Structures are given as C-alpha cells and as structure tokens.
C-alpha cells in the first residue's frame, strides 16, 4: 500500500472513532460531555494504551541524557475523572518511562462521586498494576491545590512530577525534565503541553510558546521573544518562562517543600499556577519550558465541576496571591476589579512570613527582569496580540465548493436566517441559484464553511441536536465532517450522520442521527 493511501486509512479510522452505532453509544457520548466535557465514548474505545505521534523537533531526537538521573514520583490528582482517561494517563507513564526512573505513581482521589473510581479502580490497580501505584483517598473534597500537597507528602522520589488526570505522555518525556533539574535543583520545568482534542481525542502538536499573565491575573500564552531563541543549543534549549500553565511540571521534592509547597488557603482550582511561578522567580529559583519534553492534555471548553459551595475559587485564590506577592502592583488588578478591593481573602500571615523568611525579591524586580514584556496599564500601554494555539494564520486549502444538495428532495442546505448569523440553524430550502449565500466550501480541515464565513458546528450539543453555524475554530472535532459511503455526511465528534427530520415538511429541519444509509441521510456537494 502507498504511503498516502496508508495515511488516508489511518485518518479515516481516527475520524470514525466516535461513530455511534446504537442508543447505548449515544447515551455514553452525551453523558460523557455532561460529566467530563469531552468525548467519553471515544476515550473508552481508545482503551488504556495507544501510541501518540512523536511531536518533538527533529533536533531533540539526537539528544542523549545522563544515565544517573534522579528518580521521579508522579503525582496525579483527580476529581470525577473518566476512568478510561485516568488509566490511559497512568499507562502512558508506565509505557513510556524507563522503569528505573519511575519511583512511583501517586493517585490522589479528591473525594470523587463516581463509583467506578472507587471499587473498579481499586481492583484494577491491585490486579494489573505493579507495586508502584499508590492510591490516596481524600475524605473530603480538597481541590487540586491541597490535593497536590497531599500527594507530595506521600511521595518519596527525589523529583516530583505533577500531571492532570487526562494526559498522555510522549516518548522520552521524562529524561529531559529530570536532566534539567539534576543540573540545578532550583530549576522548575514544564513539558510542552500538546493538545488532545476534547471532541475526537486526536493528539496534535503545540507550538512552543511560553507562559505569561495579564492584570486580571489570568494565565496566557505568549510568543517566545526572539532574544530568548537562537542560543547555541537551538530548538532544544530550555525556554525561560515567566509563568507556568499549572497542571504539568516537575521540581525537586526538597525544593518544593523548602519553597513552601502551595498556599493551603487556596481552594479547588485557579491562581496557584501564578502564585508558584512568582514565588519561584522572586525567591531564587528558575522556571523553564523544555521543548524536548512533550505531554498531551485534553483541553476542554468548560470545566465540568464547580466548587462545593459554588464559591468563585479563582477569585479567592487570586486575591490571596495579589496580597502576598504583587506589592504596589496589586493596584493594577484592583483597577480592573474594583469590586474586589474590600473583599476578604482569609488569613495570609503565614505566606507573608514565608516570603520574608525566603528573602524573596520584589514584584517590581520580577517585572523588570523576568517579564519586561508585561505592560503597565496606562495611556501608553500597547495591547499585545493574543495567541491562538489551534490555527496559525494559514487558511486551509479548499477541496470543493458548491451547493449542498439533499438527494431525496433535491433541495439545498442553507442558513435558516442570514448566512452570517452566528449560532444560526441550517435548514433545507429550495435552491436559489442567484444566492451566493447558499454556497459551501469543503476544505482540507474537513470543515464545511457557508458563505465563506461560518462553519457547520456540533460543539457542546447532545448528539441528536441540530448543528449550528459558528465561527470556524480550526481545532477540528465538532466542526469536522466527512462524505462517506452511500452519500452520507458524517460528523466526527457527534459520531452520527446529518439527516432531514421530515422530508415532506416545508420546515426543512435537519438533525443528527445514527448513520443508516437511508435516503433522508444522503447528501451531495456540487459546484
Ligand atoms: N482536580 C482535583 N480536585 C478538584 C479539581 C480538580 O483533584 O477539586 C484535578 C482534576 O481532576 C485534574 C487536575 O486537578 O486532574 C486539574 O484540574 P482540571 O483539569 O479541571 O484543570 P484545567 O486543566 O481545566 O485547568
Ligand atoms: Mn486539565
């Protein structure tokens, strides 16, 4: 078989992973989106082992690492995770880490509600996983911040590696992290976080970017300044990063303790990544992204859980960090959020004392030396270009252009209202050959773009809901469609085919349904 044909078959298999065959599949998919905000049907079908594409720069493949690296304890906290995603995380670590470097894996169950994360996980670990796995159960919900501290307290390896519970590590992921820490104990390192699509679970490469933040105290990705690139090590050199994204990093265990772990007054989720980043830099450490280490992470469009009493923990945690670390610059935060000036944030005296005891530098020093790109808001501030990881500036190549005919009725699929209306439905209407707004483009990303503008989209829907016209996001999944056998039009993340609800009705409604090759499901794109 030719290389191209092979690639096309692999692509086809990938695109069909989410196919819905019966009501059970449909239930599993819809429940998965509800509980986890990703496609659990595909996650379950993938199982616990799979190869992922080696996304490293070619230069990384020639690098070698010392044989006497320090050993690692991998700490994974989870709350209501999909069991298949959690076990794939664990197995990816076991499958792609040299056994002598993996001291243990510590799973911290943050008082999850789902039954399979209790008995079934326990049984699986006892039956199939070697003695290296410890499961710790929190008796009440702690949140990921105290959860990681609990995991770290049980760890005995020299280096701590934190991962989210829906990751897949890539080949040779750990050695470059350990090597950087071995050279300098006060160096904290992050892998490049590759993207696992929430809709298709497809694994794809991320560009090498670094961590920043804005005055709303939100993490953001920044392009790496040219001054940081092009050293003698080229594309394999560690990249100085002002902040970390938070979920995936490695650090010497004694250094983690010495530096004050985390702020245990922070709850559930949010802010701890900026807090530890500022603390590392201001108190004598360093933070790098290691381009030769890659770990995939499922990026979801929403977080599927809240906090126990519905508190806004991101704000609570950000307030604590602002009062401990930002000095006079907390004014920047409060000028954006004046409502928070008088909001209480609990007792921070221990953290203030920690800062004093460690002899940390000022936030001004951090801004001047570590993040000079940060703009102080004011009349002269220049807004920075936001980075979208998913799609570069390149437009995907057009494969076909024309009207989308429903063969049985010979009508056209068009926008119900204006074709430029975001969120609008599509319906079947008589074809109007004078109307360019009825023209679809089918491109190499498998998107269906109406009127050169909006994409046919199935995101955040139940599998039987109708598709909508949304801004093209370029990250595949919910906007990917394939034309298949018996003229079907298959939606990749819904795992179903587009059908006309009632071919006789003038309303022309369409919806998704299990692919059955019937005439209500037959479509043809023609110029
Ligand atoms: N987590 C936890 N307890 C919580 C909230 C989250 O143990 O109360 C875990 C979660 O299961 C995941 C990690 O912490 O493994 C990071 O959370 P999440 O993936 O939701 O954060 P995101 O990646 O969306 O920022
Ligand atoms: Mn996550």
Q: Which atom of ligand 1 is nearest to the CA of 163?
A: 15
Ligand closest to 164 (CA) is 1
The closest residue, in CA terms, to atom 16 on ligand 1 is 164
What pLDDT score was predicted for residue 375? Answer: 72
What pLDDT score was predicted for residue 396? Answer: 87
What pLDDT score was predicted for residue 389? Answer: 55
Q: How far is the CA of 105 from the centre of ligand 1 (A)?
A: 17
For 110-207, strand residue ranges (E) read 133-137, 159-163, 167-169, 187-197, 203-204
Per the CB < 8 A criterion, the answer to whether 361 and 371 are in contact is no
pLDDT of 150 over the 80 cut: yes
pLDDT digits (tens, 9 = 90+) for 283-325: 999 999 999 999 999 999 899 999 999 999 999 999 999 999 9
CA separation for the pair 80, 384 (Å, rounded): 37
Mean of pLDDT over the chain = 93
Q: Which atom of ligand 1 is nearest to the CA of 297?
A: 23
Q: Which of 76, 247, 270, when mutated, tests ligand 1's pocket best, judged by the most ligand atoms within 8 Å of its CB?
A: 247
pLDDT digits (tens, 9 = 90+) for 218-242: 999 998 888 887 777 778 999 999 9
pLDDT digits (tens, 9 = 90+) for 113-122: 999 999 999 9
Mean pLDDT computed over 84-90: 98
pLDDT digits (tens, 9 = 90+) for 335-377: 999 999 999 999 999 999 999 999 999 999 999 999 998 876 6
Ligand closest to 148 (CA) is 1
**CA dihedral for 250, 254, 260, 265, sign (positive or negative):** positive
- pLDDT band for 383, please (50, 70, 90 cuts): low
Q: Which atom of ligand 1 is nearest to the CA of 246?
A: 25
The closest residue, in CA terms, to atom 19 on ligand 1 is 164
- pLDDT band for 382, please (50, 70, 90 cuts): low
Q: How far is the CA of 474 from the centre of ligand 1 (A)?
A: 25
Nearest CA among 499, 502, 524 for reference residue 511? 499
Residues 6+ apart with CB under 8 A from 139: 111
Q: Which domains does the chain have, with CATH numbers?
A: 46-52+68-300+312-368 (3.90.550.10), 396-523 (2.80.10.50)
Pocket lined around ligand 1, Cβ cut-off 6 Å: 77-79, 81, 110, 141, 143-144, 147, 164-165, 247, 268-269, 303
Q: Which residue has the tokens 């009508």?
A: 411
Q: How far is the CA of 267 from the centre of ligand 1 (A)?
A: 12
Mean pLDDT computed over 159-176: 98
SS (H, E, C) 370-405: CCCCCCCCCCCCCCCCCCCCCCCCCCCCEEEEEEEE
pLDDT of 471 over the 60 cut: yes
pLDDT digits (tens, 9 = 90+) for 12-39: 777 788 999 999 999 999 999 999 999 9
CA separation for the pair 82, 39 (Å, rounded): 10
What pLDDT score was predicted for residue 380? Answer: 57
The closest residue, in CA terms, to atom 6 on ligand 1 is 144
The closest residue, in CA terms, to atom 14 on ligand 1 is 144
The closest residue, in CA terms, to atom 2 on ligand 1 is 144
């Amino acid at each position: 078989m030719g290389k191209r044909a092979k690639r096309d078959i692999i692509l086809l298999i990938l695109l069909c992973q989410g196919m819905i065959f019966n009501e059970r599949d449909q239930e599993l998919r819809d429940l998965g989106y509800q509980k986890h905000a990703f496609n659990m049907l595909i996650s379950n079908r993938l199982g616990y082992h799979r190869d992922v594409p080696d996304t490293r720069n070619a230069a990384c493949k020639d690098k070698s690492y010392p044989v006497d690296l320090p050993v690692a304890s991998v700490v994974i906290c989870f709350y209501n995770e999909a069991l298949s995603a959690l076990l794939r995380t664990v197995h990816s670590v076991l499958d792609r880490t040299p056994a002598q470097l993996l001291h243990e894996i510590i799973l911290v169950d943050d008082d999850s509600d789902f039954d399979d994360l209790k008995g079934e996980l326990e049984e699986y670990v006892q039956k199939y996983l070697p003695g290296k796995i410890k499961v710790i159960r929190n008796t009440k919900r702690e949140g990921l911040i105290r959860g990681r501290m609990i995991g770290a307290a049980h760890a005995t390896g020299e280096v701590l590696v934190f991962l989210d519970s829906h990751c897949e590590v890539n080949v040779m992921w750990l050695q470059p992290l350990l090597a950087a820490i071995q050279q300098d104990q006060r160096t904290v390192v992050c892998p490049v976080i590759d993207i696992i699509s929430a809709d298709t679970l497809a694994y794809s490469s991320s560009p090498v970017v670094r961590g920043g933040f804005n005055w709303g105290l939100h993490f953001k990705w920044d392009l790496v300044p040219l001054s940081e690139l092009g050293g003698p090590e080229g594309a394999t050199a560690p990249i100085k990063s002002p902040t970390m994204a938070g979920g995936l990093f490695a650090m010497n265990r004694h250094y983690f303790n010495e530096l004050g772990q985390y702020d245990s007054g922070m709850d559930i989720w949010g802010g701890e990544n900026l807090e530890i980043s500022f603390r590392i830099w201001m108190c004598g450490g360093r933070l790098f992204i290691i381009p030769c280490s890659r770990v995939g992470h499922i990026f979801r469009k929403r977080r599927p859980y809240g906090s126990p009493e519905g508190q806004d923990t991101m704000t609570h945690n950000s307030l604590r960090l602002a009062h401990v670390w930002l000095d006079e610059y907390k004014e920047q935060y409060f000028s954006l959020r004046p409502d928070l000036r008088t909001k209480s944030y609990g007792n921070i005296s221990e953290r203030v004392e920690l800062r004093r005891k460690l002899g940390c530098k000022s936030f001004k020093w951090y801004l001047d030396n570590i993040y000079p790109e940060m703009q102080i808001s004011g009349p002269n501030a220049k807004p920075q270009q936001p980075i979208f990881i998913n799609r570069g500036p390149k437009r995907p190549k057009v494969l076909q252009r024309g009207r989308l005919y429903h063969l049985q009725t010979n009508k056209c699929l068009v926008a119900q209202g204006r074709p430029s209306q975001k969120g609008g439905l599509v319906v079947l209407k008589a074809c109007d050959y004078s109307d360019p707004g009825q023209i679809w483009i089918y491109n190499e990303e498998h998107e269906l773009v109406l009127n050169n503008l909006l994409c046919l989209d199935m995101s955040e829907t139940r599998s039987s809901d109708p598709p909508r016209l949304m801004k093209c996001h370029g990250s595949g999944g919910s906007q990917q469609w394939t034309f298949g056998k018996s003229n079907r039009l298959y939606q990749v993340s819904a795992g179903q085919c587009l059908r006309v609800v009632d071919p006789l009705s003038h309303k022309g409604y369409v919806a998704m349904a299990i692919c059955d090759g019937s005439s209500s499901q037959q479509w043809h794109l023609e110029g």
